[in-house]
Structure 1
Amino acid sequence: MIEFDDVHASYEATLPILKGVSFTIRDGEFVAFVGTNGAGKSTTMRLVNGLLKPDAGQVLIDGVPTTELRTSELARRVGFLFQNPDSQICCNTVREELLFGFKALGQAGPEADERVDAIIEEFGFDADDDPFLLNRGARQLLALASIVVLAPPVVVLDEPTTGLDYRECAKVMDIVRRIHERGTTVIMVCHDMEVVADYATRCIVMSDGTVVDDAPTFDVLRNRDTLERASLVPPQIVDLSFELARDMPQLAETAVARANTVDEMLAAVAEEARTTQDVERSVCA
């Protein structure tokens, strides 16, 4: 479990970034942090994995303040995927990259080799490839794999789909969904509301260094006050349901206006059409 208790943070103790942030993330959750640039999301992520310490308040991992945990212990508990994979790739082959974390933690050995072999097969890597010659999407997958192979209970993703095309984005996020289904706690900073809607079950919205909303994802994406305050644009399907409810008030209280996916929208429209036809037939009879 991760807890922020009235956390204040700044860089070089001069520019305040977080201003009294509090929340709790329970084991096994998939939480997205959203908000505009400068809202404090990335700073929050750096506090989670200990790259930054709070100026005031506490950040606790399983009840222990991060200020009392060694860097190696934090690394075992929290895996961190940077926005740019080149910020964390450092070895000459894919296999060496996947083994690097084990060596850094003093865990190299037959078990580490077996886990690396399994990840290479699962992700479809060539073990001898030079990481720096891979395309952007493949480097992002390798950076993600270097975290997954260590099996930390918490994975933090800072804009994991930035710079990826649709196919690459889907591949990365399908891996993320898979590790979440295995029980890993996933914390993700993301500007893409479509990705947030498709994968996260909870949203924490930040603005100007504070938390302005914290609720199930679609409750957040349907809260116009939150969207306006944080300058967020909802996914297209949610935006469409807003527009339908506005332009056709008779749909405001129906499933059409509450649809969260294309499939839900189509099913709701079909059901509304059937209901209308049934009423018309009843009147004619």
Structure 2
Amino acid sequence: MSFLTLNDVTYCYPNGFKAVENVSMSFEKGESVAIVGQNGAGKTTTVKMMNGLTKPTQGDVIIDGLNTKAYTTAQISRKVGYVFQNPDDQIFHETVKSEIRFGPKNLGFSEEKIEENVRKAAELTGIVPLLDIHPYNLPYSMKKFVTIASVIAMDTDTIILDEPTAGQDSQAIKRLGVIIDSLVQEGKTIITITHDMEFVVNNFERVIVMANKRVVQDSHKEEVFWNHGVLEEAMLKQPHISRLCHTLNLNEKVLDINQMIDVLKKTSGKVKVTL
């Protein structure tokens, strides 16, 4: 049985608007998965049902054998941590350290465990020098790392990252990749919503595509990014390297620069560009 499962879930707002319709997906412990799709596809509503922020109108969300309908959001937060897209929606303490301490303290961890988790989370996210600073005095990009650290410190089995690369430079995006790899090695399940297709191909093998409030594909990244019908339906673009290879008529499902170099070596002198 999967660690986290959504069984045919639908979420309908009180005004009758359906944000998600008949969605099913499941996740194993230690798995990292990207969920992609345009705004309005239902991504954020779907992940909010995973940690109990919203409860499905129809269907069930099962986390480690627990049906979210029978538990409070606070109880579910012990299993699933959620990092908001906008850090200002999450931060409310006067120092970075107190912000990171809040989650594990609220979960009843010992003082020793709280300090250990704060240290680990701060080191992993690269914010140790910022612990005594007021979070609102930090730039947007660093505030995002504060919110990520605050959820890591809660030591949940699953962590959801909502648009982590937004407002980040290339070095910060590399650090995000390191963070995800480290957490997966610890057996954490990482579920990431993102519009950054380069980030997806560089950090995830499994990709779930959502469009029109439902799942339209759930498979390996190679299958997703060379399925032009699905990409068109979800209004997504291939990664830059893939589009270049398509323009060069390279008959290979290339996703990154190293793959492209290998293909070019094999096809040297045979490439014909179609404009």
TM-score (norm 2): 0.91
Larger CA deviation: 208-217 vs 161-170: 161-170
How far did 1:81 drift?
Answer: 0.5
1:258, CA displacement in angstroms?
A: 2.2
Query: Who is 1:233 aligned against?
Result: 237
Query: Hey, which bits of structure 1, 4+ residues long, moved more than 6 A?
Result: none
Residue range with higher mean Cα deviation, 125-134 or 222-231:
125-134
Larger displacement relative to structure 2 (58-67 or 113-122): 113-122
Partner of 1:167: 171
**Distance of 2:135 and 2:256 partners within structure 1:** 37
How far does the alpha carbon of each residue in 1:145-186 deviate from its partner, in whole angstroms, 9 at most, with x for none? 111122211010111111222222222332223212322111
Q: Which amino acid in structure 2 is aligned with residue 104 of structure 1? A: N
Q: What's 1:14 paired with? A: 16
Work out the CA distance in 2 between the residues paired with 1:190 and 1:114: 30
User: Does 1:57 find its partner at 2:59?
Assistant: yes
Letter in 2 for 1:231: M
Q: Deviation at 1:37?
A: 0.8
> Is the Cα contact below 8 Å between 2:107 and 2:154 reproduced in 1?
no
Correspondent of 1:26 among 28, 39, 42: 28
Q: Structure 2 vs 1, CA of residues 2 and 13 (structure 1 numbering), >3 Å: closer, same or farther?
A: farther
Query: Which residue does the alignment assign to 1:35?
Result: 37
Change beyond 3 A, Cα 1:17–1:121: closer
Distance 1:179 1:117 in 2: 15
* In 1: Cα distance, 2:120 partner to 2:193 partner: 28
C-alpha distance after superposition, 1:2-53 (max 9, x if no partner): 1111111022252111111111112221111111110100000110110001
Aligned to 1:86: 88
> Which one of 117, 125, 135 corresponds to residue 128 of structure 2?
125
Matched-pair contact (CA < 8 Å) for 2:36–2:208 = yes
Question: Quick one: distance in 1 between partners of 2:144 and 2:200?
Answer: 18
Q: More displaced, 121-130 or 214-223?
A: 121-130
CA distance, structure 1, for counterparts of residue 164 and residue 113 of structure 2: 28
Q: Is the 8 A contact 1:94 1:129 kept in 2?
A: yes
Matches of 1:120 and 1:159, distance apart in 2: 20
Q: Which residue does the alignment assign to 2:148?
A: 144
Per residue, is there more helix in 1 or in 2? 1
Q: Distance in 1 between matches of 2:31 and 2:119?
A: 28
Kept after mapping to 2: 8 A contact 1:34/1:41: yes
Match of 1:156 among 138, 156, 160: 160
| Mapped contact 2:105–2:114 kept (Cα < 8 A) | no
Matched, 1:77 2:79: yes
Match of residue 204 from structure 1: 208
1:206-233 CA-partner distances (Å, limit 9, x unpaired) = 1111111111112101101111111100
Matched with 2:106 is 104
What residue identity is the alignment partner of 2:17? L
C-alpha separation in 1, matches of 2:120 and 2:158: 20
Shift of 1:117: 2.6
Name the CA distance, whole Å, in 1 between partners of 2:201 and 2:248.
19
Equivalent residue in structure 1 for 2:138, among 134, 139, 142: 134
Amino acid at match of 1:272: T
1:273 Cα deviation from its structure 2 partner: 3.0
- Residue 160 of structure 1 contacts residue 190 of structure 1 at CA under 8 Å; is this kept in 2? yes
Aligned partners of 2:158 and 2:190 also within 8 Å: yes
Q: Secondary structure at the match of 2:9?
A: strand
* Number of residue pairs the alignment of both structures matches: 266
- Answer yes or no: is the 8 Å Cα contact 1:213–1:220 preserved in 2: yes
Cα offset for 1:97?
A: 1.0
Q: Percent identity?
A: 34
Once residues 190 and 121 of structure 1 are traced to their aligned partners in structure 2, the CA distance between those partners, rounded to angstroms, is: 24
Structure 1: where are the runs of 5+ without partners? 246-250, 277-285
In the TM superposition, what whole-angstrom CA distance separates every residue of 1:112-143 from its partner, at most 9, and x where no partner exists? 11222333344242321111111111111111
1:282 equivalent in structure 2: none
Unaligned runs of 5+ in 2: 271-275
